[in-house]
Amino acid sequence: MNHLSSGLRSNLLERGASLVGFADLKDFPAKDRMDFAYGVSIAVAIRPDIIRGIENGPTLAYYEEYVRLNEQLNSLAEYTADYLKGHGFEAIPQTTTRVVQDRNALRTPLPHKTVATRAGLGWIGKCALLVTKSFGSALRFTSVLTNAPLPAGIPVNASSCGTCTRCREACPGKAVKGINWSPELEREEYYDAHSCEKAARELMLRLGIDYTICGKCIYVCPWTQRYLDAHR
């Protein structure tokens, strides 16, 4: 199985993935993980120049990068599913066309960032984005559900945000409550998704685009700034 996981990781990195991790999902309700016990978490970093451009809010370039990354992640997820199927396992890619969001709750049954925490890639920040030590929150994620018993990473169960409140201070929708995430917390306890969506849509409409992205919390995150400093 190590050969399977190492081969998959290597191939995904060659195809443009920035991070790859494997997760044991058996602690989650079977219906949320579609009866699959394992997951593959795949991330692609947002280009540093794009992140630098959103200091004051979303831009057309950020929107175009966001769409491009979604397409790339869909392709990587499909590749991963095909790779695992080619080795005799079942797998379902959690692509943007497959995952259905509950529009009332603004959530999916098993978020990509949750799979990422279980794979040990990072923690969920106060702004409800996945934060990593290598890229901050300047990443987009996808995931693949499978029955392949891949060697799981060590789950991250605690935030490393500490006393930092930069995302809270920068949020135009006042969606960030300033509370450190832990797996036991409901998202609503530390983050208001509806306030975020409303503010993000208003910002994008100023660009003439009916879409919901902002990115200010990504830019101000100290971990993201470390990523930017390393790529000047």
For 44-55, the pLDDT digits (tens) are 999 999 999 999
Q: How many CA atoms lie within 13 A of 156 on its CB side?
A: 23
Average pLDDT over residues 5-28: 98
For the stretch 162-198, pLDDT in tens is: 999 999 999 999 999 999 999 999 999 999 999 999 9
User: Residue 100's pLDDT band (boundaries 50, 70, 90)?
Assistant: confident
For the stretch 62-84, pLDDT in tens is: 999 999 999 999 999 999 999 99
For the stretch 124-165, pLDDT in tens is: 999 999 999 999 999 999 999 999 999 999 999 999 999 999
Instruction: Indicate the pTM of the whole model.
Output: 0.96
Distances, alpha carbon 143 to alpha carbons 78, 96, 198, 227, in Å: 10, 10, 26, 23
Distances, alpha carbon 185 to alpha carbons 5, 77, 139, in Å: 31, 29, 23
pLDDT score at 53: 98
Residue with tokens 């990473």: 153
pLDDT score at 1: 58
From CA 196, how far away is CA 84, in angstroms rounded?
Answer: 36
Average pLDDT over residues 84-95: 97
Closest CA to 83 of 142, 103, 75: 75
Average pLDDT of the residues of the chain: 96
| φ, ψ of residue 213 in degrees (nearest 5) | -140, 150
pLDDT score at 224: 98
From CA 112, how far away is CA 88, in angstroms rounded?
Answer: 24
From CA 104, how far away is CA 62, in angstroms rounded?
Answer: 26
pLDDT score at 232: 87
User: Residue 117's pLDDT band (boundaries 50, 70, 90)?
Assistant: very high
Query: Distance of alpha carbon 127 from its chain centroid, rounded?
Result: 12
Angle between helices 60-86 and 2-14 (to 10 degrees): 150
